[in-house]
Chain A
Amino acid sequence: MASFRYGFILLVMLALAAVPTVAIAIDEPFYVSLFTRMLVMAIAACSLNLVLGYGGMVSFGHAAYLGLGAYVVGIGFYHASNDGMEWALNGWMHLALAITIPGLVALLIGAISLRTRGVYFIMITLAFSQMLYYFFIGLERYGGDDGLSLWFLSDFGGVMDMNDDVDLYYLSYGLLLVILFLLYRLVNSRFGMVLKGAKSNERRLMAVGFPTYRYRLVAFGISGAICGIAGFLMANQSEFVSTAEMHWVHSGDLIVMVVLGGMGTLFGPVLGAVGFLMLEQYLPELIRGGCEVIGGNNCGIAGEYWKIVFGPLLIMVVLFARGGIDGLLQGKVGRNG
């Protein structure tokens, strides 16, 4: 089964690389933006997987770092278009700030949250992300509740053009590959061993002399920084920044992606993000189709209620397929996650 698993993952990654070419060939440019969104969510899910899958910290507030990364682009745009500060559109600066600011905020939030354990940790990360959510709603200057429409995107000079969907797609793809490589190196390093060790038996690790709190905190900060990159890409993809993306339901979506794909595996979150967005895109049509097959009335409306299927589906995954997609590829079925 192992070779099948690697083959499948390789196939998915290669297929992702070919998306823009195929989409343009069949004249369906919509697919480029759909798959860009998948890549962006894959990056965010990978960042969450570092703390959730490898570190065993159930962070229920990662949408906040996604939002912070997006607001870096949004606030830069605001000052460039309203105060004439052309330099505020610089893409390299956006990227650098979208890594450092969410990273630092994650360190701050992590420093307080990691003092607690278990359910407290879940609820505190949730509450802090809501705090940032309301903070940005309160910032009327940068759109508040309504968000900001971006007429200018991050400017990378002549290197690439964010208005070009294909450029943005390959930037996201490249960043995803770099992040996957870095995560691979990270989790297989001494640092990663300590992180995984602290998940399975913290007391023993502390007895050996590792300050697990600091290791966890650093992992939390790195995770926030990576999630910020996803936010930067998301703002450029949707050409819109709003607080809606910071809402806690999106933190829940991210957890679902990680678990759906397979926690604590390198490619699991990528599979999970692709699978999640595929379901979001095609489950309504599937329901509509199924409704027509059995000859129901008002099938067009039935598709709108796809979450009524999706919710219980999620519960089934939790109860019966803890390993997620990656676990299924390895032939593991059942509760071992």
Chain B
Amino acid sequence: MNWILLIEQCLNGIQLGLLLFLLAAGLTLVFGIMDLVNLAHGSLYMVGAYFAATFTAWTGSFVLAIVLTLPATLIVGAVVEIVCLRSLYNRDHLDQVLATFGLILFFNELVRLIWGPAGLNVPLPEFLSSSLELLPGLVYPSYRLAIILASLTAAFFLYWLVARTRIGMLIRAGASNREMVGALGVNIRFLFTIVFGLGAALAGLAGLMAAPISTVEIGMGENVLILAFVVIVIGGIGSIRGAFVAAILIGLIDTVGRAFLPDVIGTFFDDEFADAAAPALASMSIYLLMAVILAFRPEGLFSARGG
């Protein structure tokens, strides 16, 4: 086995996992605190990527685009919460699934109306377009390293916000008993809007960071959304710690599996079978992992709500 390639794929896996974590953290926060299933979370990821594309084209600077995109997605999220989702908190999950499904259709068409049906490409920022030699022989694109660092920073910020600040205390209290928090005089509606906006900004951050290394297109959020669902189901809904562990796990298994499963199967079976079966098996691996984990722990790895 090629060790350099393995390390490189592991880094790719961690990078995918961290992006997934940014999405899953928002989803799991919204679910844990507001008890809301939000299918439209992937749309916020898409909107983030489109904002990044537009702002990069306007300002010519990716850094400025980041500065503009984050508040923009936060505002979009807050507006969506106030206009549409607020009346869904006390409904059953089926209603929420349907209404947010309607939101996906709406957002996809709105994006098509504004930006057109063709995909957009965001150029890599110049100062990150080179590669670094991490180990002798291991050359890794610096943009992907920057994604890893930025996501880790966001994850630490989230941890600090939830565990160390007053607003985080309210978020945790809201997760364990929202009626009581409301009764104690906290403006729970405002808190919910903030949490939703925060989740939207995290999704937007994931979208904008993914924009230069993938095509910005309609429906880009939907496949990532399913992966984020797998992450929060494995991690335990409502648990940010669980989401982090599960996201890294999923990112690693998906990436490393795709890279090495053909070789692994090829050593046991003939090549023709390996070529046919490996891609199918690799794309199924994370779902199989989810099935196994749920068979033993139906509530996920870290099932405690809040956390």
Binding site for B on A (CB under 8 A): 52, 58, 60, 112, 115-116, 118-120, 122-124, 126-128, 130-131, 134-135, 137-141, 248-249, 252, 255-256, 259, 305-308, 310-315, 317-319, 322
- Which residues of chain A come closer than 8 Å to B226, judged between CB atoms? 126-127, 130, 248
Q: How far is the CA of A141 from the CA of B294 in the complex (A)?
A: 32
Q: How far is the CA of A139 from the CA of B284 in the complex (A)?
A: 12
B100-137 interface with A by 8 A CB criterion: 101-110, 112-113
Q: Is the CB of B284 within 8 A of A134?
A: yes
Given A118-B93, A127-B226, A138-B280, verify A256-B287 contact (CB < 8 Å): no
- Choose from B99, B288, B290, B298 the contact partner of A115 (Cβ within 8 Å): B298
Q: Is the CB of B97 within 8 A of A122?
A: yes
Q: Is the CB of A311 within 8 A of B103?
A: yes
Q: Is the CB of B37 within 8 A of A308?
A: no
- Choose from B87, B105, B298 the contact partner of A314 (Cβ within 8 Å): B105
- Choose from B93, B108, B229, B282 the contact partner of A127 (Cβ within 8 Å): B229
For the complex, is B256 an interface residue (Cβ under 8 Å from A)? no
- 12 CB contacts below 8 A, A to B, read A119-B37, A127-B287, A131-B287, A134-B283, A138-B281, A140-B276, A141-B276, A305-B113, A311-B105, A314-B101, A314-B102, A315-B84
Q: How far is the CA of A163 from the CA of B196 in the complex (A)?
A: 52
Nearest Cβ in chain A — how far from B226, in angstroms? 5
Most buried by B among A115, A120, A126, A315: A315
- Which residues of chain B come closer than 8 Å to A138, judged between CB atoms? 279-284
Q: Is the CB of A310 within 8 A of B283?
A: no
Q: Is the CB of A122 within 8 A of B93?
A: yes
- Which residues of chain A come closer than 8 Å to B299, judged between CB atoms? 116, 120
B149-203 interface with A by 8 A CB criterion: none
- Which residues of chain A come closer than 8 Å to B98, judged between CB atoms? 255-256, 259, 314-315, 317-318
- Which residues of chain A come closer than 8 Å to B107, judged between CB atoms? 311
- Which residues of chain A come closer than 8 Å to B237, judged between CB atoms? 119-120
Given A112-B294, A124-B294, verify A318-B287 contact (CB < 8 Å): no
Nearest Cβ in chain A — how far from B66, in angstroms? 29
Q: How far is the CA of A317 from the CA of B299 in the complex (A)?
A: 32
For the complex, is B271 an interface residue (Cβ under 8 Å from A)? no
B189-228 interface with A by 8 A CB criterion: 222, 226
Q: Is the CB of A115 within 8 A of B295?
A: yes
Which chain A residue shows the least CB distance to B100?
A315
Q: Is the CB of B103 within 8 A of A315?
A: yes
For the complex, is B31 an interface residue (Cβ under 8 Å from A)? yes
Q: How far is the CA of A120 from the CA of B237 in the complex (A)?
A: 8
Q: How far is the CA of A299 from the CA of B276 in the complex (A)?
A: 48
- Which residues of chain A come closer than 8 Å to B280, judged between CB atoms? 134-135, 137-139
- Which residues of chain B come closer than 8 Å to A130, judged between CB atoms? 226, 287
Q: How far is the CA of A124 from the CA of B230 in the complex (A)?
A: 8
Q: How far is the CA of A313 from the CA of B109 in the complex (A)?
A: 14
Q: Is the CB of A315 within 8 A of B287?
A: no
Query: Given A126-B229, A248-B222, 19 other A-B contacts at CB below 8 A?
Result: A115-B298, A116-B294, A119-B93, A122-B93, A127-B226, A134-B283, A134-B284, A138-B282, A140-B279, A252-B97, A252-B101, A255-B98, A255-B101, A259-B94, A259-B98, A305-B112, A308-B110, A314-B105, A318-B98
B32-73 interface with A by 8 A CB criterion: 37, 39
Q: Which 10 residue pairs spanning A and B have beta carbons closest together?
A: A138-B280, A311-B106, A314-B102, A131-B287, A311-B105, A134-B283, A308-B109, A138-B279, A311-B102, A307-B109
- Choose from B109, B233, B290 the contact partner of A311 (Cβ within 8 Å): B109
Which chain B residue shows the least CB distance to A114?
B298
Q: Is the CB of A315 within 8 A of B99?
A: yes
Nearest Cβ in chain A — how far from B264, in angstroms? 16
Q: Is the CB of B291 within 8 A of A308?
A: no
Which chain A residue shows the least CB distance to B230?
A127
Q: How far is the CA of A123 from the CA of B300 in the complex (A)?
A: 12
Q: Is the CB of B31 within 8 A of A119?
A: yes
Q: How far is the CA of A189 from the CA of B53 in the complex (A)?
A: 58
- Which residues of chain B come closer than 8 Å to A256, judged between CB atoms? 98, 101
Which chain B residue shows the least CB distance to A113?
B294
B245-292 interface with A by 8 A CB criterion: 276, 279-284, 287-288, 290-291
- Which residues of chain B come closer than 8 Å to A112, judged between CB atoms? 291, 294-295
Mask, B78-91, CB within 8 Å of A = 1, is 00000010010001
Which chain B residue shows the least CB distance to A134?
B283
Which chain B residue shows the least CB distance to A56?
B94
Given A116-B294, A307-B109, A308-B109, verify A58-B97 contact (CB < 8 Å): yes
Q: Is the CB of A249 within 8 A of B222?
A: yes
Most buried by B among A118, A124, A134, A312: A134
